[in-house]
Structure 1
Amino acid sequence: MNLNQVTIPSKDVKKAIGFYQKLGLELIVHTHDHYARFLCPTGDATFSIHYREQLNTEGGAIIYFEVPDVAKKVKQLKEKGITFMTETTAQSWAWTEAKLKDLDGNTLIIYHAGENRKNPPWRIQ
């Protein structure tokens, strides 16, 4: 089994499109303002946005976008006006991360784990 795509809710798909293009995703489907799909710049995964009148305001999914250099990507995104909740942080689980929210309050993590993403030292054998 392979993860094909993740879809998140948005109250304004048109505005969300601009936000995700700033992050570096390539818009590949937008037939109406209730749905858009993007190609991630690396790998085969896609990411989509679907209109919802009401959003879940508690909890929800956390979306991780991996990049080779978190500090560099965060700097580039800040220059484009993207605001982060946290600065680039080396986490105890061997990942480097920076957290932000999209325009609809969905939590996004820009991160780098490298080999530790699938093979951390504590992986079950």
Structure 2
Amino acid sequence: MKGLSMILNQITIPCLDYSASVAFYEALGMVRIVEAQPRYARFESADGSGATLSLHTVSATVSASGGSGTVIYFDHPSADALKAHVEELKAQGLVFDSEPTDESWGWREARLRDPAGNEVCLMFAGTARRFPDWRVDGRTG
């Protein structure tokens, strides 16, 4: 992985009660930057350091089944860097659940699982990572 340049982008965690979870993280001082009620919210720390925390609503059935719904995201500097990293990892024997795919929210994502079954998303989002068109405060970067 010589010369690899990726950063921890975000951690997405499940929630059962969207409103209570949003209120909890705002009380901790997190700033809501994206919202798609009642299924998704994204926060960043007040200092704007970059990494974000996201909530996504899951059903009690999913929660009870043992699936955590946690996703760890690693951002890449370009779509080409993402593609090269995926190819490098596949050459090492890692198996992907999905190849790099352009998603409707503007990110390019490839997904795989760690040995414990946690979902890992390798992605490229560019400025859409922190400043999507639907950002709560309307900022564009």
TM-score interval, normalised by the smaller of the two chains? 0.5 to 0.7
Report the alpha carbon displacement of residue 121 of structure 1 after superposing the two structures with TM.
1.3
Amino acid in the other structure paired with 2:100: T
Report the alpha carbon displacement of residue 44 of structure 1 after superposing the two structures with TM.
9.6
- Could you say which residue in structure 1 is the equivalent of 2:34? none
CA distance in 2, matches of 1:115, 1:44: 11
Structure 1 residue corresponding to 2:97, chosen from 75, 85, 88: 85
Secondary structure of the residue aligned to 2:110 is strand
CA distance in 2, matches of 1:71, 1:116: 18
Secondary structure of the residue aligned to 1:94 is coil
Whether 1:58 aligns to 2:70 is: no
Amino acid in the other structure paired with 1:61: T
- Could you say which residue in structure 2 is the equivalent of 1:118? 130
1:122–1:67 Cα change, 3 Å:
same
TM, length-normalised to structure 2: 0.48
Amino acid in the other structure paired with 2:74: F
- Could you say which residue in structure 2 is the equivalent of 1:72? 84
Q: How many residues of Structure 1 are paired with residues of Structure 2 in the alignment?
A: 76
Structure 1 outlier segments of 4+, above 4 Å: none
Secondary structure of the residue aligned to 1:85 is strand
CA distance in 1, matches of 2:70, 2:90: 23
Report the alpha carbon displacement of residue 57 of structure 1 after superposing the two structures with TM.
3.3
Secondary structure of the residue aligned to 2:97 is coil
Query: Which sections of structure 1, spanning at least 5 residues, go unmatched?
Result: 7-42, 46-55
Secondary structure of the residue aligned to 1:86 is strand
Query: Which sections of structure 2, spanning at least 5 residues, go unmatched?
Result: 1-7, 12-48, 52-64
RMSD: 2.8
**CA deviation vs aligned residue, 1:15-45 (integer Å, no higher than 9, x gap):** xxxxxxxxxxxxxxxxxxxxxxxxxxxx998
Report the alpha carbon displacement of residue 59 of structure 1 after superposing the two structures with TM.
2.5
Secondary structure of the residue aligned to 1:109 is strand
